[in-house]
Structure 1
Protein backbone atom coordinates (compact mmCIF):
# COMPACT_ATOMS: atom_id res chain seq x y z
CA UNK A 1 0.00 0.00 0.00
CA UNK A 2 1.48 3.32 -1.15
CA UNK A 3 1.26 6.11 1.45
CA UNK A 4 0.75 9.63 0.06
CA UNK A 5 1.26 13.14 1.38
CA UNK A 6 -0.55 15.68 -0.80
CA UNK A 7 0.44 19.37 -0.84
CA UNK A 8 -2.19 21.88 -1.96
CA UNK A 9 -2.72 25.64 -2.08
CA UNK A 10 -6.36 25.94 -3.12
CA UNK A 11 -9.58 24.00 -3.46
CA UNK A 12 -8.00 20.56 -3.65
CA UNK A 13 -10.10 18.98 -6.43
CA UNK A 14 -7.28 16.54 -7.27
CA UNK A 15 -6.93 15.75 -3.58
CA UNK A 16 -10.64 14.97 -3.38
CA UNK A 17 -10.36 12.62 -6.37
CA UNK A 18 -7.52 10.77 -4.62
CA UNK A 19 -9.46 10.55 -1.36
CA UNK A 20 -12.51 9.18 -3.18
CA UNK A 21 -10.40 6.68 -5.13
CA UNK A 22 -8.73 5.44 -1.96
CA UNK A 23 -12.10 4.60 -0.42
CA UNK A 24 -12.07 1.60 -2.76
CA UNK A 25 -10.39 -1.25 -0.89
CA UNK A 26 -8.75 -2.31 -4.17
CA UNK A 27 -7.03 1.06 -4.68
CA UNK A 28 -3.36 0.52 -3.69
CA UNK A 29 -2.69 3.94 -2.13
CA UNK A 30 -3.85 5.97 0.86
CA UNK A 31 -3.50 9.68 1.65
CA UNK A 32 -1.92 9.89 5.13
CA UNK A 33 -1.65 13.70 5.43
CA UNK A 34 -2.42 16.90 3.54
CA UNK A 35 -0.19 19.97 3.74
CA UNK A 36 -0.47 23.50 2.41
CA UNK A 37 1.34 26.83 2.31
CA UNK A 38 -1.81 28.59 3.59
CA UNK A 39 -5.16 27.79 5.17
CA UNK A 40 -6.37 26.16 1.95
CA UNK A 41 -10.05 25.50 1.15
CA UNK A 42 -9.04 21.96 0.22
CA UNK A 43 -8.46 21.17 3.90
CA UNK A 44 -12.24 20.68 4.07
CA UNK A 45 -11.85 17.52 1.95
CA UNK A 46 -9.13 16.19 4.25
CA UNK A 47 -11.27 16.88 7.31
CA UNK A 48 -14.28 15.17 5.74
CA UNK A 49 -12.18 12.03 5.19
CA UNK A 50 -10.49 12.25 8.60
CA UNK A 51 -7.03 12.98 7.18
CA UNK A 52 -4.59 15.07 9.29
CA UNK A 53 -3.49 18.43 7.86
CA UNK A 54 -0.60 20.86 8.35
CA UNK A 55 -0.06 24.38 7.10
CA UNK A 56 3.19 26.35 6.84
CA UNK A 57 3.03 29.89 5.45
CA UNK A 58 6.16 31.05 3.66
CA UNK A 59 5.67 34.49 5.26
CA UNK A 60 6.19 32.95 8.72
CA UNK A 61 9.82 32.09 7.89
CA UNK A 62 12.89 34.28 7.30
CA UNK A 63 13.52 32.74 3.86
CA UNK A 64 12.36 30.09 1.41
CA UNK A 65 15.05 27.62 2.50
CA UNK A 66 14.00 27.59 6.17
CA UNK A 67 10.35 27.30 5.10
CA UNK A 68 11.31 24.36 2.89
CA UNK A 69 13.22 22.69 5.72
CA UNK A 70 10.17 23.00 7.99
CA UNK A 71 7.91 21.64 5.25
CA UNK A 72 10.27 18.69 4.74
CA UNK A 73 10.26 18.01 8.48
CA UNK A 74 6.45 17.93 8.49
CA UNK A 75 6.35 15.62 5.45
CA UNK A 76 8.88 13.23 6.99
CA UNK A 77 6.70 12.78 10.08
CA UNK A 78 4.35 10.77 7.85
CA UNK A 79 7.08 8.73 6.09
CA UNK A 80 5.23 8.80 2.75
CA UNK A 81 6.14 6.65 -0.22
CA UNK A 82 5.09 9.46 -2.54
CA UNK A 83 4.57 13.23 -2.20
CA UNK A 84 2.14 14.87 -4.62
CA UNK A 85 2.16 18.59 -5.42
CA UNK A 86 -1.41 19.18 -6.49
CA UNK A 87 -2.18 22.80 -7.17
CA UNK A 88 0.68 23.69 -4.80
CA UNK A 89 1.57 27.22 -5.90
CA UNK A 90 4.99 27.60 -4.29
CA UNK A 91 8.32 26.58 -5.79
CA UNK A 92 9.82 23.88 -3.60
CA UNK A 93 13.43 24.67 -2.58
CA UNK A 94 16.14 22.44 -4.13
CA UNK A 95 17.01 20.85 -0.75
CA UNK A 96 13.43 19.58 -0.45
CA UNK A 97 13.33 18.32 -4.03
CA UNK A 98 16.67 16.55 -3.58
CA UNK A 99 15.52 14.95 -0.30
CA UNK A 100 12.27 13.60 -1.78
CA UNK A 101 13.26 12.90 -5.39
CA UNK A 102 12.23 10.99 -7.38
CA UNK A 103 9.18 10.28 -5.17
CA UNK A 104 7.84 13.80 -5.68
CA UNK A 105 5.33 14.34 -8.48
CA UNK A 106 3.30 17.27 -9.75
CA UNK A 107 0.21 17.87 -11.88
CA UNK A 108 0.27 20.71 -14.40
CA UNK A 109 -2.53 22.16 -16.59
CA UNK A 110 -0.61 22.12 -19.88
CA UNK A 111 0.98 19.64 -22.27
CA UNK A 112 4.56 20.04 -21.07
CA UNK A 113 7.07 21.24 -22.09
CA UNK A 114 4.53 23.69 -23.52
CA UNK A 115 3.44 26.47 -21.13
CA UNK A 116 5.33 25.73 -17.89
CA UNK A 117 4.93 27.97 -14.85
CA UNK A 118 2.08 29.32 -12.76
CA UNK A 119 -0.14 30.48 -15.67
CA UNK A 120 -0.19 27.51 -18.04
CA UNK A 121 -3.86 27.92 -19.00
CA UNK A 122 -3.65 31.69 -19.48
CA UNK A 123 -0.45 31.32 -21.51
CA UNK A 124 -2.04 28.71 -23.80
CA UNK A 125 -4.97 31.03 -24.50
CA UNK A 126 -2.66 34.00 -25.10
CA UNK A 127 -0.65 31.93 -27.59
CA UNK A 128 -3.81 31.12 -29.56
CA UNK A 129 -3.01 27.40 -29.79
CA UNK A 130 -5.76 24.96 -30.92
CA UNK A 131 -5.01 22.56 -28.08
CA UNK A 132 -3.27 22.39 -24.74
CA UNK A 133 -3.42 19.57 -22.19
CA UNK A 134 -2.57 18.19 -18.77
CA UNK A 135 0.60 16.51 -17.50
CA UNK A 136 1.87 14.58 -14.50
CA UNK A 137 5.62 14.88 -13.98
CA UNK A 138 8.44 13.95 -11.63
CA UNK A 139 9.54 17.17 -9.91
CA UNK A 140 13.09 18.36 -10.50
CA UNK A 141 14.76 21.68 -9.68
CA UNK A 142 13.51 23.40 -12.82
CA UNK A 143 10.06 24.90 -13.39
CA UNK A 144 7.79 22.09 -14.62
CA UNK A 145 10.80 20.57 -16.37
CA UNK A 146 10.99 17.10 -14.80
CA UNK A 147 10.46 13.75 -16.55
CA UNK A 148 6.92 13.30 -17.84
CA UNK A 149 4.94 10.42 -16.32
CA UNK A 150 1.81 10.92 -18.43
CA UNK A 151 -0.05 13.59 -20.37
CA UNK A 152 -3.09 14.08 -22.55
CA UNK A 153 -4.26 16.72 -25.01
CA UNK A 154 -7.27 18.97 -24.36
CA UNK A 155 -8.73 21.07 -27.21
CA UNK A 156 -9.05 24.83 -26.88
CA UNK A 157 -12.56 25.78 -27.98
CA UNK A 158 -13.68 29.04 -29.62
CA UNK A 159 -14.71 31.50 -26.93
CA UNK A 160 -12.82 29.68 -24.17
CA UNK A 161 -11.95 31.76 -21.14
CA UNK A 162 -9.20 30.88 -18.69
CA UNK A 163 -11.87 29.52 -16.35
CA UNK A 164 -13.77 27.44 -18.93
CA UNK A 165 -10.57 25.93 -20.33
CA UNK A 166 -9.20 25.18 -16.87
CA UNK A 167 -12.50 23.52 -15.94
CA UNK A 168 -12.11 21.14 -18.89
CA UNK A 169 -8.44 20.43 -18.09
CA UNK A 170 -9.06 19.64 -14.39
CA UNK A 171 -10.94 16.33 -14.91
CA UNK A 172 -8.16 15.16 -17.27
CA UNK A 173 -5.55 16.11 -14.67
CA UNK A 174 -7.45 14.10 -12.07
CA UNK A 175 -7.69 11.02 -14.30
CA UNK A 176 -3.98 11.20 -15.15
CA UNK A 177 -3.04 11.62 -11.48
CA UNK A 178 -5.15 8.67 -10.29
CA UNK A 179 -3.72 6.48 -13.05
CA UNK A 180 -0.15 7.60 -12.28
CA UNK A 181 -0.58 6.73 -8.59
CA UNK A 182 -2.03 3.34 -9.60
CA UNK A 183 0.84 2.67 -11.99
CA UNK A 184 3.48 3.67 -9.42
CA UNK A 185 1.83 1.54 -6.72
CA UNK A 186 1.56 -1.47 -9.05
CA UNK A 187 5.16 -1.13 -10.26
CA UNK A 188 4.19 -0.26 -13.85
CA UNK A 189 6.04 3.03 -13.49
CA UNK A 190 9.49 3.09 -11.88
CA UNK A 191 10.17 6.66 -10.77
CA UNK A 192 13.90 6.05 -10.24
CA UNK A 193 14.22 4.69 -13.75
CA UNK A 194 12.20 7.61 -15.17
CA UNK A 195 14.29 10.18 -13.29
CA UNK A 196 17.59 8.79 -14.56
CA UNK A 197 16.49 8.14 -18.16
Structure 2
Protein backbone atom coordinates (compact mmCIF):
# COMPACT_ATOMS: atom_id res chain seq x y z
CA UNK A 1 0.00 0.00 0.00
CA UNK A 2 1.49 3.23 -1.12
CA UNK A 3 0.82 6.69 0.19
CA UNK A 4 0.88 9.69 -2.14
CA UNK A 5 2.60 12.84 -1.02
CA UNK A 6 1.48 16.24 -2.21
CA UNK A 7 3.56 17.61 -5.02
CA UNK A 8 5.95 20.26 -3.87
CA UNK A 9 4.83 23.74 -4.68
CA UNK A 10 7.24 25.83 -6.71
CA UNK A 11 9.14 28.32 -4.52
CA UNK A 12 8.21 31.88 -5.25
CA UNK A 13 9.81 34.99 -3.79
CA UNK A 14 7.43 37.46 -2.26
CA UNK A 15 6.83 40.46 -4.42
CA UNK A 16 9.11 43.28 -3.45
CA UNK A 17 7.37 46.00 -1.57
CA UNK A 18 8.08 49.58 -2.39
CA UNK A 19 7.71 51.61 0.79
CA UNK A 20 7.15 55.27 0.21
CA UNK A 21 10.06 57.42 1.22
CA UNK A 22 9.31 60.17 3.62
CA UNK A 23 11.14 63.55 3.74
CA UNK A 24 12.76 65.60 1.00
CA UNK A 25 16.10 67.19 0.17
CA UNK A 26 17.11 70.02 2.53
CA UNK A 27 16.13 73.48 1.31
CA UNK A 28 19.01 75.61 0.10
CA UNK A 29 20.39 77.96 2.76
CA UNK A 30 19.39 81.57 2.30
CA UNK A 31 22.25 83.97 1.80
CA UNK A 32 22.80 86.47 4.59
CA UNK A 33 22.18 90.13 3.83
CA UNK A 34 24.65 91.17 6.51
CA UNK A 35 27.65 91.68 4.19
CA UNK A 36 25.63 93.80 1.79
CA UNK A 37 24.22 95.93 4.59
CA UNK A 38 27.69 96.49 6.05
CA UNK A 39 29.18 97.43 2.68
CA UNK A 40 26.35 99.84 1.84
CA UNK A 41 26.42 101.42 5.31
CA UNK A 42 30.20 101.77 5.22
CA UNK A 43 30.12 103.32 1.77
CA UNK A 44 27.45 105.85 2.78
CA UNK A 45 29.32 106.85 5.98
CA UNK A 46 32.59 107.16 4.05
CA UNK A 47 31.05 109.30 1.32
CA UNK A 48 29.07 111.58 3.65
CA UNK A 49 32.05 112.07 5.98
CA UNK A 50 34.26 113.18 3.13
CA UNK A 51 31.63 115.52 1.65
CA UNK A 52 30.47 117.13 4.92
CA UNK A 53 34.01 117.29 6.31
CA UNK A 54 35.25 119.05 3.19
CA UNK A 55 32.38 121.56 3.27
CA UNK A 56 32.94 122.39 6.95
CA UNK A 57 36.67 122.80 6.41
CA UNK A 58 36.26 125.08 3.40
CA UNK A 59 33.61 127.23 5.11
CA UNK A 60 35.65 127.47 8.32
CA UNK A 61 38.84 128.44 6.52
CA UNK A 62 36.89 130.94 4.40
CA UNK A 63 35.36 132.63 7.45
CA UNK A 64 38.75 132.86 9.15
CA UNK A 65 40.39 134.25 6.02
CA UNK A 66 37.62 136.87 5.63
CA UNK A 67 38.28 138.13 9.15
CA UNK A 68 42.02 138.29 8.64
CA UNK A 69 41.63 140.22 5.38
CA UNK A 70 39.87 143.02 7.29
CA UNK A 71 42.90 143.76 9.49
CA UNK A 72 44.47 147.11 8.54
CA UNK A 73 47.86 148.50 9.45
CA UNK A 74 48.00 152.03 10.81
CA UNK A 75 50.90 153.98 9.18
CA UNK A 76 53.08 155.41 11.94
CA UNK A 77 50.78 153.94 14.58
CA UNK A 78 47.99 156.46 14.01
CA UNK A 79 44.92 156.61 11.80
CA UNK A 80 41.18 156.21 11.64
CA UNK A 81 38.93 153.26 11.01
CA UNK A 82 35.24 153.10 10.21
CA UNK A 83 33.20 150.92 12.55
CA UNK A 84 29.54 150.20 13.10
CA UNK A 85 28.01 150.57 16.53
CA UNK A 86 28.51 147.29 18.37
CA UNK A 87 31.53 146.19 16.33
CA UNK A 88 34.31 144.62 18.39
CA UNK A 89 37.83 145.39 17.16
CA UNK A 90 41.29 144.39 18.31
CA UNK A 91 44.64 146.14 18.11
CA UNK A 92 47.58 144.07 16.87
CA UNK A 93 51.36 144.48 17.19
CA UNK A 94 54.27 142.30 16.07
CA UNK A 95 54.80 139.29 18.34
CA UNK A 96 56.96 140.20 21.33
CA UNK A 97 56.05 143.91 21.22
CA UNK A 98 53.19 146.00 22.56
CA UNK A 99 51.87 149.54 22.41
CA UNK A 100 49.72 152.01 24.27
CA UNK A 101 46.88 153.53 22.26
CA UNK A 102 44.30 156.26 22.68
CA UNK A 103 40.99 155.62 20.91
CA UNK A 104 38.26 158.21 20.33
CA UNK A 105 34.78 157.52 18.99
CA UNK A 106 33.09 159.83 16.42
CA UNK A 107 31.47 161.80 19.26
CA UNK A 108 34.80 162.28 21.08
CA UNK A 109 34.22 159.71 23.82
CA UNK A 110 36.12 156.59 24.72
CA UNK A 111 34.85 153.30 23.27
CA UNK A 112 33.55 150.45 25.36
CA UNK A 113 35.64 147.50 26.51
CA UNK A 114 36.19 144.77 23.92
CA UNK A 115 36.86 141.07 24.17
CA UNK A 116 39.45 139.16 26.19
CA UNK A 117 40.05 136.85 23.25
CA UNK A 118 43.65 136.62 22.09
CA UNK A 119 44.07 136.57 18.33
CA UNK A 120 47.05 136.26 16.04
CA UNK A 121 47.60 136.72 12.33
CA UNK A 122 50.39 136.89 9.80
CA UNK A 123 51.32 140.18 8.13
CA UNK A 124 54.15 140.23 5.59
CA UNK A 125 55.41 136.90 6.89
CA UNK A 126 55.56 138.04 10.54
CA UNK A 127 53.23 137.03 13.36
CA UNK A 128 51.14 139.82 14.88
CA UNK A 129 49.32 139.31 18.20
CA UNK A 130 46.41 141.27 19.67
CA UNK A 131 47.23 143.37 22.72
CA UNK A 132 44.03 145.41 23.24
CA UNK A 133 40.39 145.44 22.19
CA UNK A 134 37.44 147.85 22.15
CA UNK A 135 33.77 147.97 21.17
CA UNK A 136 32.44 150.77 18.97
CA UNK A 137 29.72 152.64 20.83
CA UNK A 138 28.84 154.80 17.81
CA UNK A 139 28.91 154.42 14.05
CA UNK A 140 31.55 156.36 12.15
CA UNK A 141 35.26 157.16 12.09
CA UNK A 142 37.24 156.09 15.16
CA UNK A 143 40.56 157.86 15.70
CA UNK A 144 43.43 155.72 16.96
CA UNK A 145 46.80 157.12 18.18
CA UNK A 146 49.51 154.74 19.42
CA UNK A 147 53.05 155.21 20.72
CA UNK A 148 54.38 152.52 18.35
CA UNK A 149 54.69 152.77 14.55
CA UNK A 150 53.72 149.13 14.10
CA UNK A 151 50.05 148.76 14.97
CA UNK A 152 47.16 147.15 13.10
CA UNK A 153 43.44 147.09 13.84
CA UNK A 154 40.75 144.63 12.85
CA UNK A 155 38.14 142.14 14.09
CA UNK A 156 39.04 139.19 16.30
CA UNK A 157 40.02 136.03 14.49
CA UNK A 158 36.88 133.91 14.01
CA UNK A 159 36.98 131.12 16.57
CA UNK A 160 33.92 129.61 14.94
CA UNK A 161 35.76 129.45 11.65
CA UNK A 162 38.79 127.84 13.27
CA UNK A 163 36.73 125.25 15.15
CA UNK A 164 34.65 124.63 12.03
CA UNK A 165 37.75 123.93 9.99
CA UNK A 166 39.19 121.65 12.69
CA UNK A 167 35.85 119.87 13.10
CA UNK A 168 35.60 119.36 9.35
CA UNK A 169 39.05 117.77 9.23
CA UNK A 170 38.29 115.51 12.22
CA UNK A 171 34.92 114.49 10.76
CA UNK A 172 36.47 113.70 7.42
CA UNK A 173 39.22 111.59 8.99
CA UNK A 174 37.18 109.88 11.71
CA UNK A 175 34.09 109.24 9.62
CA UNK A 176 36.21 108.17 6.68
CA UNK A 177 38.07 105.60 8.77
CA UNK A 178 34.83 104.25 10.27
CA UNK A 179 33.15 104.00 6.87
CA UNK A 180 36.19 102.31 5.34
CA UNK A 181 36.38 99.74 8.17
CA UNK A 182 32.68 98.88 7.82
CA UNK A 183 33.07 98.59 4.06
CA UNK A 184 36.11 96.35 4.46
CA UNK A 185 34.40 94.18 7.09
CA UNK A 186 31.38 93.71 4.83
CA UNK A 187 33.60 92.79 1.89
CA UNK A 188 35.55 90.21 3.93
CA UNK A 189 32.29 88.76 5.28
CA UNK A 190 30.92 88.48 1.74
CA UNK A 191 34.07 86.74 0.46
CA UNK A 192 34.05 84.24 3.36
CA UNK A 193 30.37 83.46 2.82
CA UNK A 194 30.89 83.02 -0.90
CA UNK A 195 33.81 80.64 -0.32
CA UNK A 196 31.71 78.48 2.03
CA UNK A 197 28.89 78.28 -0.51
- TM-score, normalised on structure 1? 0.19
If asked which structure has higher relative contact order (CA below 8 Å, sep 6+), I would say: 2
Q: Which has the larger radius of gyration?
A: 2
